[in-house]
Structures are given as C-alpha cells and as structure tokens.
Structure 1
Amino acid sequence: MDASHSLWLFFLLTLGIIVLPGMDMAYVAGHTLQSGARAGLLALGGIVAGGVVHVLLNLSGLSALLMLLPGAFEALMWAGALYLAWIGGQMMRGAWQAWRLPPSSAAAPASAPSPAQSPWRIFVSGMANCLLNPKAYAFMLAVFPGFLRSTERGLAAQGLLLGGIIAGNQVVVYGTVLLACLGSRRWQRGDGRGMTLLSGLMGLSLVALALGTLVRAAQGLH
C-alpha cells in the first residue's frame, strides 16, 4: 500500500471513530446547547488540543506505558466516566432549576449564553474530556502506530501529518454537531421550555453514557 492510500485509510478510520457518539461529541453538544456558540467553540478547541496531546503521548511512548500498567486503563475509564457523569449532572440540575421558573423567566437563560464557566475552564475541561476518553487511548494504541512508518517522511513529520488528519476530522464532525445544536437553539426560542428540556435530555444522555462506561470498567476488573 502506497503512502497516499495509507493516509486515506487512516482518514476513513479516524472519521469512523470520531463520528460515533461519545464523550467528546456529548461535551461539545452539551456546552453549545446550554451556553451558545462561544462555549461550543471553546469546547471544540479544547478537544482538538487534547487530540494533539494524545498524538504527542503516543509518539513519546507514554500512552503505551500507561496501557501496560495493571489497572491503569480501567482507572482511566472510571475517571472519564465520573467526570462525564458530573458534567451531565450539572446540566440536569441547571435544566431542572430553569424548568421550575415561570416561562417568561426561563426564556432569558435559554436564549443567552450562561456565564457559569469561564472560557479557560471550558477549554481546559475539553482537553481533560478528550484525555480521559478511553476510546481515544484504545484507538491510538491499536491503529495509530501502524501508520507511523513512511518511506517519504520521518517519524515526527508523519506523526504531525496524522495528527493533522485527526484534528481535521474532529473539527468537521464536532463542528457539524455544534452547528446542529445552534440550529436547535434558534428553533427552540420562545418561552425557553423546549431548550430547557433539550438541555436536560442531553445531561441525562451524558449520565447514561457514563454509567455504560462504568459497567465496562467494572467488567474489566473481573
């Protein structure tokens, strides 16, 4: 297989992984639905930055070392799931508080960005969300190393190119999710009830996803 075909295959594999609903997609969707475009872009930027760190960890060998440590992968799954459940719980709590307000009072927070989190916190939390994602570590160990060898480029250049493909797919997929959520926000304007319900359902989805991850982590301990 020549280099160009190899890069196309890597592109399709990463696209297929990223497009599957998971922690990163839910994080971007949740912040966009709850706080608007700026928060969604910050969340997306943090996740892309986390993907870059994943590439650097893989190139340095630290990612493989982490996976070889007894119980390290399960601990990572627990940490990621608990973090995701906390985000989902915060969204459900905010939606419940907004739902209890009169319709006229709920409209304002539903249509305006929430100042609850600073931009830096959203960005850094996006990085943490990506770095605590077990799916990303599994992909980086199972797929990424097989594409690092190239007759045309050195290891660093090839790693940089593969990292660029990952980041591009993240921007396209999660950016599409962001735009869809913004469209939903505009469609739900009015008394704010629809947007509040949607935000609560997204929070519930995050908690359900976290519980599923915890179950898989518990099974891995046996």
Structure 2
Amino acid sequence: MTVTDSLLAYSLAASLLTITPGLDTALILRTATVEGSRKAFMAALGINTGCFIWGAMVAFGLAALLAVSELAYMLLKWAGAVYLCWLAFHMLRTPVTPQLNEGEGTARHGNWFIRGVLGNVLNPKVGVFYVSFLPQFIPMGHNPVEWTFLLVSIHVVLGTLWSLTLINASRRVAHILKKPAVARWLNRITGGLFLLFAARLAASS
C-alpha cells in the first residue's frame, strides 16, 4: 500500500467512524443544546486530547497491554463504566438551567474539557481499536511512531469538523431545545444513553 493509498483509505475509514452515532456525539449534542456551544467545544477538545493520549500510548506500545492483559482491560473498563454512570446520574439529578448566554466563565468550560478527556481515556475500547486499527494504515518501511501521530491527527481534525457541524446545527434550534421542559427531556434521554453505554462497556471483553 502506497502512502497516498494509506492516507485515502484511512481518511475514509476514520470519516465513517467519526460520523457514526456514539458516546462522543451524544455528549457534544447534549452539551451544545443544554449548556451552550462553548462548553460543547471544550468537551470536543477534551475528546480530541484523549485521542492523542491513546495515540501516544499506541505509538510507544503501552496500549498493547489492553489487548494482552485481561486485568488491565477489566480495571479500565470498570473505571470507564463507573464514570459514565456518574455522568448519567449527574444529568438525571441536576436541575436544568439552560445557558442562553455564551459569555460564561472559563472555569466551568474547563470542567467539560476534563469530562471529554476522561470519557475518552477511560474507554478501553478506544485503546483496543487504535491498537488494531492504526497499524493497518502504516506503509511498510515508514516510522510507526510518526505515522501513528499523523493518523491520530487526521482523526482529530475529522472529529473537530464533525463536532463543529453538530454544534452549529444545534444553534439553529437552540430557541426550542433550551426551553427548560425540552432540556429536561434531553438530559433524561442522554443520561439513559450514557447508562446504556456504561452497561455495554461493563459487559465487554
């Protein structure tokens, strides 16, 4: 496989992966509609940072432990499941106060950055996926560390574009979705989805 073939094939596969509905999409959409686009973008930056952390672990061989060590996978998956449950209960129990003003303090934005990072790093499926997926697109004779970071960077760029698309789309219906009654239902639906993701993660092997 040539360099061009590798990049084109990977970009297509990563694009399909990015737009497939999942935990990241649910988190960004819910945050954008209920708490504002800035917090949603901080969550997206956190998710992207988590991708780079996993990329570094794959590049230097640390993520391979998840593929060969059942204990390492079990510990990380249960930590991830507990974290998702915490996020879900936070959404279900916290009173809804939709943020109509985008000029909020950066400290609260930082919380969503951290949540984005933890949601990605505590998901062992991401690590196992990177370990098995990225090496397939590294051309023979090329530096695997450099190419791993290149491929992760492409994934992050695609993820950022998709996140911006979701955030901008939510702005068009923000006047409806930020009504307290609608926001409460969004919290319930998203919280339920997170509990489902947590159960699926806990049941994974």
Q: TM-score range by the shorter chain?
A: 0.7 to 0.9
Structure 2 residue identity aligned to 1:82:
V
Q: Which moved more, 1:136-145 or 1:53-62?
A: 136-145
Q: Cα–Cα, structure 1 residues 179 and 206, in superposed 2: closer, same or farther, change >3 Å?
A: farther
Q: Which AA in structure 1 matches 2:155?
A: I
Matches within 5 A, 1:71-150: 71-94=71-94, 97-98=95-96, 109-112=97-100, 118-150=108-140
The amino acid that maps onto 1:127 is V
Post-superposition shift, 1:145?
Answer: 1.5
What do residues 160-212 of structure 1 show as CA deviations (whole Å, max 9, x unaligned)? 321221111211223222233333422335x5312222222222221222222
- Alignment-mate amino acid for residue 33 of structure 1: T
Q: Confirm or deny: 8 A CA contact 1:11 1:165 kept in the other structure.
A: yes
What residue is the counterpart of 1:45 in the other structure? 45
Match in the other structure for 2:194: 206
Aligned residues: 202
Structure 2 CA distance, aligned partners of 1:130 and 1:173? 16
- What is the CA–CA distance in structure 1 between the aligned matches of 2:131 and 2:120, rounded to whole Å? 15
Q: Secondary structure at the match of 2:158?
A: helix
Q: Residues 136 and 21 from structure 1, CA distance in 2 versus in 1: closer, same or farther, beyond 3 angstroms?
A: same
Helix, strand or coil: the match of 1:91?
A: helix
Q: Report what 2:181 is aligned to.
A: 193
Q: Deviations over 1:85-134 (max 9, x none)?
A: 2111111112xx44xxxxxxxxxx2243687x722222122111111123
Q: Is the 8 A contact 1:23 1:133 kept in 2?
A: no
Give the % identical residues: 23
Instruction: Specify every segment of 5 or more residues in structure 2 that has no aligned partner in the other structure, as ranges.
Output: none
Which residue identity lines up with residue 166 of structure 1 in the other structure?
H
Give 1 or 2 for the bigger CA radius of gyration: 1
Q: 1:55 to 1:12 in 2, by over 3 A?
A: same
1:157 maps to a residue whose letter is E
1:173 and 2:135 matched: no
Q: Aligned runs of 1:57-68 on 2, under 5 Å?
A: 57-68=57-68
Relative to the length of structure 2, the TM-score reads 0.86
Query: After superposition, where does 1:1-80 map in structure 2 within 5 Å?
Result: 1-80=1-80
Measured against aligned partners, the alpha-carbon deviations of 1:43-77 in whole angstroms (never above 9, x if no partner) come to: 00011111111111100000002332232223322
Find 1:183's aligned residue among 172, 183, 186: 172
Distance 1:184 1:81 in 2: 31
Runs of 5+ in structure 1 lacking a partner?
A: 99-108
Letter in 1 for 2:15: L
Asked whether the 8 Å contact 2:50–2:118 carries over to 1, the reply is yes
SS of residue matched to 2:70: coil
Q: Is the 8 A contact 2:28 2:167 kept in 1?
A: yes
3-state SS of paired residue (2:63): helix
Compare 15-24 and 52-61 and name the one that shifted more.
15-24
